[in-house]
Homo-oligomer: A and B are copies of this chain.
Amino acid sequence: MSTKTVWTLSELAEMLGAELRGDPAHRICGVHTLTVAGPDQLGFLANPRYMGELEHTRAGAVLLRPADAEGYGGNALLLANPYLAYARVARLFDQTPRPAAGIHATAVVSATARVDASAAIGPHAVVADEVVVGPGTVIEAGVVIQARSQVGRDCRIRANAVVYHDCVLGDRVSLHSGAIIGSDGFGFANDAGRWEKIAQIGRVVIHDDVDIGANTTIDRGALEDTIIHQGVIIDNQVHIAHNVVIGAFTAIAGCVGIAGSTRIGAYCVLAGGVGVAGHLEICDKVQFTGMTMVTKSITVPGSYSSGTGMESTVSWRKTAVRLRSLDDMARRLRELEALVAKIQPPAEPV
């Protein structure tokens, strides 16, 4: 959260490296969509599809590609990537509380933990033996960091998240509330029908600049570590099982589940609800559309899907019944083809 609340267009232009067109002294104290933004707010046109909104916007200024600025008479900040510029501007108006450095009186911090003086430890947080917390890091209320785990610099661990023992978080890692890092992987040996637990003695290692959503869980490795590489972004309610490796800059949307020992490449995108089976290798730059069931390794970059399209329930029921006789249909089609092939086509009329 910034303490400055008003910016002039010239200040913003300089910050963003934008070409300013219009009044450099115009004051901006917020950012919003083109339809909602008022005269003291910045709007942005990231998707040419919304070009029509430019005409009616009341925004005090607009972030625009030079090519889209033709015919727009208002204040404008021209730059190549308005969406990225919006990301940078939004940060200025973020009201997320920024706690002061120091350890709250109710926090329980082990005498053997090393907490940087510039870090903030919130109410009722627990920082166990030999934990390391880096400079500028914020550990919010109710967070538990268990023995020997390391949290880098400028991390933000939101309220009630948990990091189990011996895990490693790099710098600028963000964990949202309810995220659980380092819980036991689902490893059991079967002993004549009974399940015997396998102690999970690997760790979770999270590299720099990783963002992890609310109630997401990442299990510790069985023997090897579970590894999340640099710049990975993970949404809410994602389940990442033991020994999984996620390549750098991969994006994982909500409700995805990734089973044990699977390796996902870099620059992949997993849309919401995707399920990935265990022990697979997914190469770099693969996209999965929503709810895809991934049961095979992938070696060719590109987009992959599964599932059936939505219909009215009435017609879906028919489709579902037919599907079960698809194998039969295929066989009958083949027989019919053979039969017809044997029938001489009638002679053409003379």
A199: which of B94, B199, B306, B343 is its contact (CB, 8 Å)? B94
Given contacts A198-B87, A249-B193, whether A309 and B320 have CB atoms under 8 Å apart is yes
Q: Which residues of B contact A124 (CB under 8 A)?
A: 106, 108, 124, 126, 142
Q: A180-B176, A343-B345 known; A313 and B333 CB under 8 Å?
A: no
Q: Does A25 contact B (CB under 8 A)?
A: no
CB neighbours (8 Å) of A329 from chain B are: 322, 329-330, 333
Which residues of chain B are within 8 angstroms of A322 by Cβ–Cβ distance? 326-327, 329-330
A3 CB within 8 Å of chain B: no
Q: Which of B177, B273, B319 contacts A275 (CB 8 A)?
A: B273
Copies in the complex: 3
Q: Which residues of A contact B (CB under 8 A)?
A: 31-33, 36, 81, 83-84, 86-88, 90-91, 93-97, 104, 106, 108, 122-124, 126, 128-129, 140-142, 144, 146-148, 158-160, 162, 164-166, 174, 176-178, 180, 183-184, 186-191, 193-201, 209, 211, 213-215, 217, 219, 222-224, 231, 233, 235-237, 239, 241, 249, 251, 253-255, 257, 259, 267, 272-273, 275, 277, 287, 289-296, 302-327, 329-330, 332-333, 336-337, 339-340, 342-346
Asked if B195 and A184 make an inter-chain contact with CB atoms under 8 angstroms apart, the answer reads no
Task: Give 4 A-B pairs besides A32-B223, A146-B159, A311-B324 with Cβ atoms closer than 8 angstroms.
Answer: A88-B196, A186-B254, A194-B231, A214-B217
